[in-house]
Amino acid sequence: MPTCPDCVSLLDSLPIGVFRLDATLQSIHINRAMAQFSGLPGGTMAADDFGRASLTDAQRAEWQRLATVALTTGEPQRFQLRWEQSGEGREVHVRVAPYRDADGAIQGVIGVALDMTPLRRAEAALRDSETRFKAFMDHMPAIAWIKDARHRYVFRNKAHQDRYGEPGEDWSGRSDAEFFRPDDAAQYAATDSRVLGTGEPLVYETRNVDRHGAGVDWRIDKFRVTDADGRHYVAGIGVDVSERNHAERLLRESEARFQAFFDHSPALVWMKDDEGRYLYANELHKRFLGVSDDSWRGKTDFDLLPHDFARACREGELRVLDSGKPLETTGSVPAISGPDRHWQLVRFCFVGWGGRRFIGGVAADITEKMRDQERVRRDALTDELTGLYNRRGFKLLVEQELKHAQRERQRCALLVADVDGLKQINDMFGHASGDTALSQVSQVLRRTVRDSDIVARVGGDEFVVFARGAQIGIVRERIANELRAFNVANAGPFLLSVSIGTTEFDADAAEPLDRLLSRADERMYAEKRSRA
């Protein structure tokens, strides 16, 4: 088969496989790419040798048939073959066509062999990639879509299909205006244009109605993507945040109820972190701290209260954190303004998310309660008419005094005084005058004794005096002198007079109070009888 050097050089320079067959189909010339392609030496060789070395019997027969058709018809022919090279299968597309001389006579067949293997591999890889992409996107719990620069859909995942449009409906090449309310579609188009124009991602939240009529809250992430040809698309991912938003609304409502409840609570309520920094304070506690704005947030008691009091508060908090148990205390607390108040305080520790510990506190103002209790206690121990201790109060206090006196080896004086002539005063001047006489006697006794002595009215007209570490004679003489001075100064219709019985408490004998009272009472009556 004649060849020209220039033609051979040209054919060898081509990156594709090229071959020439003579008109008899006996001789073949292959270029360098075809030689590499087939694994044979390049140049001219017998066609049968080439076919037996490179092709199967079926492929060789097909090749010869198509070459013959091209020679006889003058029309190009195409066929595909599977070419095994070094144990690797390759897909080859072959096109053969007759070539002619200057006079138009067919001189043989020229063929081009294209190795389609890289292309097919790329196509397979692309299909695999698309399959993986679609499988991934279809299994996403979020909706996802891609639109072109004219806002027409080119892709949407299964979640998007299930949410919007009818089952199996194809949205390709269609816009949001066909499926959503006008306001929603306009918003989507505006955000698409913004992303396409700026190239910057956009995150926002919106709400729409799906094909089932349910209102859905979405968190939308939109971003621009660009293909190999430089065409821009806008991609979007939407996460259903309806449950989150619902939970947040419930949380806000719960916090509002919490705030309203504790702001109307009669107790101080607060919460701190484990460093003692305020996280919450109700209105009453803010007034206690002396603040009306949010300046208390993140501060400690050392920033807001007297140092000594703040230190005591922190010590209590640390005890709670160390033990993990609530701590209840009652005591007097210096208010920011005004007199001291009494509080019942409960501190407790609780653990939040992540294991972080917090301190909660509730303090109730029990000042009035304490006063009421003191009033009840005082009424229970006090004689209503004279304001002195009653019998119960006298015994309660004196029994404690006797214990101290016994430990300290002290002698104590006990006097029982009975008002003389009280019945006659009641009969002659009325019971009001009798009550006046009793009150006057109580005043005389108060002026007579020391502040540390105990004076009580233990019966209708009977009074007792307990004087620790005092001599009976001196106490008795002071009472008599005070009565005389009162009668001289008083211009009333009657004179005050009392009969007195005395006894002493001996620490060595340690007699009980009832026995001392009984002995003093007997001596008082003996004195009263001696005056009759």
Write out the chain's pLDDT in tens, 532 residues: 445 555 666 767 777 888 888 888 888 888 888 887 777 888 888 888 887 777 888 888 888 888 899 888 889 988 887 777 666 777 888 898 998 888 888 888 988 888 888 778 877 887 887 778 788 777 878 999 999 999 999 999 998 998 888 888 899 999 999 999 999 999 999 999 999 999 999 999 999 988 888 889 999 999 999 998 999 999 999 999 999 888 889 988 988 888 888 888 889 999 999 999 999 999 989 988 888 888 999 999 999 998 988 999 999 999 999 999 999 988 777 655 556 778 889 999 988 877 889 999 999 988 888 887 778 777 788 998 999 999 999 999 999 999 998 888 888 999 999 999 888 989 899 999 999 999 999 999 999 988 889 999 998 899 999 998 888 888 899 999 999 999 988 877 888 999 999 999 888 888 899 999 999 999 999 998 887 6
Cα 82 from Cα 59, distance rounded (Å): 9
Choosing among 3.30.70.270, 1.25.40.10, 3.40.50.300, 3.30.40.10, the CATH entry for 382-531 is 3.30.70.270
Q: At what angle do helices 391-407 and 367-381 cross, to 10 degrees?
A: 90
Greatest CA separation found in the chain?
A: 181
Instruction: For the domain made up of 5-115, give the CATH fold.
Output: Beta-Lactamase (3.30.450)
Do the domains spanning 5-115 and 382-531 agree at the CATH topology level? no
Say how far residue 221 (Cα) sits from the centre of its chain: 26
Q: What residues contact 269, with CB distance under 8 A and at least 6 apart?
A: 262, 280, 281, 282, 284, 285, 361, 362
Nearest to 37 by CA among 112, 94, 115: 115
pLDDT of residue 6: 59
What 3-state DSSP class applies to 71? helix
Helical (H) or strand (E) element with 463 = strand 462-468
Architecture of domain 253-369: 2-Layer Sandwich (3.30)
pTM of structure: 0.48
Ranges of each domain in the chain = 5-115, 123-240, 253-369, 382-531
User: For residue 339, what are its two tokens?
Assistant: 């007199």
Residues forming a β-bridge with 225: 233
- CATH number attached to the domain at 123-240: 3.30.450.20
**Which residue reads 């004279």 in tokens?**
386
pLDDT of residue 185: 93
pLDDT of residue 338: 58
